[in-house]
A and B are shown apart, each in its own frame.
Chain A
Amino acid sequence: MPKLSTVKNNQQIPLAEPVAYRGCHCPMHTVLAQLRKMSGLSSLVVGMPECACYSRLVINEAFEDSQTKHYTYVLDSKEVIFGCGQGVLKAIQEMEQEGVQNLVVLKTCTPSLIGEDLSTLGEGVKLKVRELDVAHFKTNGYLSGYHMLSEALGSFIEGSPLEVKKPSVHLVGEAVGEEINLLESLLVQRGFQVLKTSTFKAFEDFQSLNDSKLSICLSYEWLGLFSNGGAVSRPFVNLFDCYDLQTLRERYSQIGHLLGIENLQALMEEGQMETVRRWGELETKARQRDSLPLYCGSQDVQPLAFTYAMKKLGFNIETLHVEHWDDLCNDWKPKVLALGVDPNLVYMSDQSKLGRRGDISDFISREQVLELQSYMGYERLGRLMTLILEHPELKGGLSWR
């Protein structure tokens, strides 16, 4: 298993198991899972009969919008050798005649393997086309599907961002709890219109991202909206990868600074003094003793940000599941290494067997992690500390061995 310090990409991260039991989903799954929730963006899955058939298990909801089409293009034995570009172009032209205006072409394992370049097909048609390389052999998991789709979505948004922004803020993704409501009401009090992407049903709704002063990213799935290959910069701040007090304070300060609400961080912390006090206590205790070793097989947390926070609380994650290595992991890597933590990185394909490995799921179940992830900010920190402090074996940071 490679160490964090040596890893730079997905290809270096091995499966933890010698063989995967049933396996995990590929990026095609997450692209289609997002697409089925919105109208206005069509898809064309290009690949073998398997990908065509299986993709229909995901695109399984009826659309009432006649311009939203989800089709497949199935390769034959000649195209596998000589290429499928011409055939796919004809398919796209046919979809254009049916009224499709925005299209993502999903290039699955086989066309990716034969080096097919479908990214230039948009030059032969008027509709907007983006190619997404969803080949599963390029990654272990499915997270990259979310990122690819949101990047494509971001690139479809027309025009450049306004120089003088409207007084609006986007909450991108979802969070539950009182804190998100508090943040929203503070922003409204200061005269900002708050728009939530969780309420967007159509692809056109995302156009408003260009105009707003700031986007606050609450879920990993939408992070790609702000990358767009660096061509168009939309200001954003992440809150979904905050598991420790220092990072959270920095992010709230950043939001406050960008929106001209300089005391935002203090206002958000006002009702959370108990959480702040507990965190300080745990961090102090953690500095006074050796860190306790743990595995972390959770696929639901941002792995390096979580590792960073757990180290602060006195736990040294020695083996870490990484669902997908991306730019965010590259950003967190030096911070984690600076704390003296250098975990082994793996991909744990069989999440049902985690507990048997002395995994963190011995102490914090998947349901608890999912619940933790759905909260943000100080509420999330409070819940994380409660899970650790109240567990009979982890209580007060005592050894469980």
Chain B
Amino acid sequence: MALVKHKPKPSSRMGITLGYSGVEGLSVLEYGSMGHTLYQYKMAGVLGQVVKCQYFSTHLSEKDIIMGSQSRLERALVHLLKEEKTQAIAVVPSSSLEITGFDLKAEVALIMSGDLENEKDVKVFTTGKGGLQYTFEEGLEEGLWALISTLSSPRKQTEVRPFKAFNLLGGFGFEGPLLDLVATRKRLEDHYGGRVFTAVPLETDISHIKKLTTADFNVVLGDEALKTAQWLLQAYDMPYFVPSIELLVFKEE
């Protein structure tokens, strides 16, 4: 790579974990050194994001890395499922584990298939694209897709709303939320008619994400949300719109 004298570029892992910062009810569990996790939390604040998710870390020792031990991961999951008020858990690998080739998805699946108490049926999922070859935007894209594809479910026939509703997808960049959500919400509600049901990941919670499909359509605020919008179209027949830049950017008359 290179000597970086000024502004270093963020990684795809940062895209995944920063992108989750506005999701209330979500626990982001990093399987790695806890210094990363604390910085992640602080960086979200520096970017002006109100942090609603909870960040946790297993921390690691040399022995865990050399022996490929997953005992810390298991202890962490047991604790989160039993003691913390969490509605979903995203397990994210650190860069150290990416290098050792630790198969996080398989290990989490193995742990969850054991005798773990999961009375509240908390969804536990992992994300891919944490490696060096992916960009921050690819991390945002992957994180959003993993979150929605894990938690969303088909709309029930009985769920009828008396007004039109739509979801906002995407809109988070390294400089923080790219758009003023309050102003954007108002403009889009005026344009499309109806109300915003939820904005993922800018300002949302797990219960809204689970009922995402009760809305009538999705509005894509950033390129990183296209993959998710296309998936929702295929899986649930939910149409999506990509508004023009003129619609998204407020102009003085």
Contacts and interface: CB of A to CB of B under 8 A. Distances in A.
B36 to A, nearest CB: 6
A91 interface: yes
Interface string B173-214: 000000000000000000000000000000000000000000
A71 B1 contact: no
Nearest to A77: B132
Interface in B22-71: 29, 33-39, 41-43, 46, 54-65
B9 A49 contact: yes
B58 A109 contact: no
A245 to B, nearest CB: 38
Contact of A20 (B5, B39, B57): B57
A314 to B, nearest CB: 35
Given A50-B11, A50-B39, A136-B35, A18 B54 contact: no
Given A20-B37, A23-B38, A80-B99, A113 B3 contact: no
Contacts of B64: 137
B4 A137 contact: no
Contacts of B55: 21-23
Interface string A60-84: 0000000001011111110110001
Nearest to B74: A18
Interface stretch (B75-83, B153-161, B236-244): B75-83
Residue in A19, A79, A140 with the greatest tally of chain B CB atoms within 10 Å: A19
B36 A73 contact: no
A125 to B, nearest CB: 14
Contacts of B39: 25, 50, 54, 57
Nearest to B132: A77
B7 to A, nearest CB: 8
A320 interface: no
B76 A18 contact: yes
Contacts of A326: none
A25 B35 contact: yes
A75 B1 contact: yes
A29 B95 contact: no
Contact of A23 (B2, B37, B78, B131): B37
A28 interface: yes
- Most A-side CB within 10 Å, residue of B4, B29, B133: B4
A53 interface: yes
Contacts of B59: 15, 20, 23, 136-137, 140, 349
A19 B2 contact: no
A72 B35 contact: no
B76 A74 contact: no
B37 A22 contact: yes
B8 interface: yes
A354 B141 CA distance: 38
Nearest to A135: B33
Nearest to A139: B61
A54 B43 contact: yes
B96 A57 contact: no
A80 B132 contact: yes
Contacts of A138: 62
A73 B14 contact: no
B96 to A, nearest CB: 5
Contacts of A140: 59
Contacts of A368: none
Interface range for A: 35 or more
B232 to A, nearest CB: 30
A19 B35 contact: no
A185 to B, nearest CB: 43
B129 interface: no
B76 A137 contact: no
Nearest to B14: A50
A334 interface: no
Given A73-B3, A109-B95, A109-B96, A137 B8 contact: no
Contacts of B42: 57
B72 to A, nearest CB: 8
Contacts of B75: 18-19
B89 to A, nearest CB: 11
A339 interface: no
Contacts of A44: 3
Interface string A124-144: 000000000001111010100
A216 interface: no
Contacts of A90: 3
A26 B94 CA distance: 14
A142 B78 CA distance: 27
Nearest to A26: B35
Contact of A109 (B1, B8, B33): B33
Contacts of A54: 35-36, 39, 43
Contacts of B131: 77
Nearest to A93: B3
A24 B38 contact: yes
A137 B11 contact: no
Nearest to A91: B3
Nearest to A78: B1
Contacts of B57: 19-20, 22-23
Interface in A17-65: 17-26, 28-29, 44, 48-50, 52-54, 56-57
24 contacts: A17-B79, A19-B80, A20-B56, A20-B57, A23-B55, A24-B34, A24-B38, A26-B33, A29-B35, A49-B9, A49-B11, A49-B14, A50-B13, A52-B4, A53-B8, A73-B2, A74-B4, A75-B132, A84-B1, A91-B3, A94-B3, A110-B96, A110-B99, A142-B35
Q: Which 4 A-B residue pairs are closest in the complex by CB-CB distance?
A: A23-B34, A26-B35, A52-B8, A136-B33
Given A28-B35, A136-B35, A140-B59, 7 more contacts: A20-B56, A21-B55, A84-B1, A87-B2, A113-B99, A135-B33, A136-B59
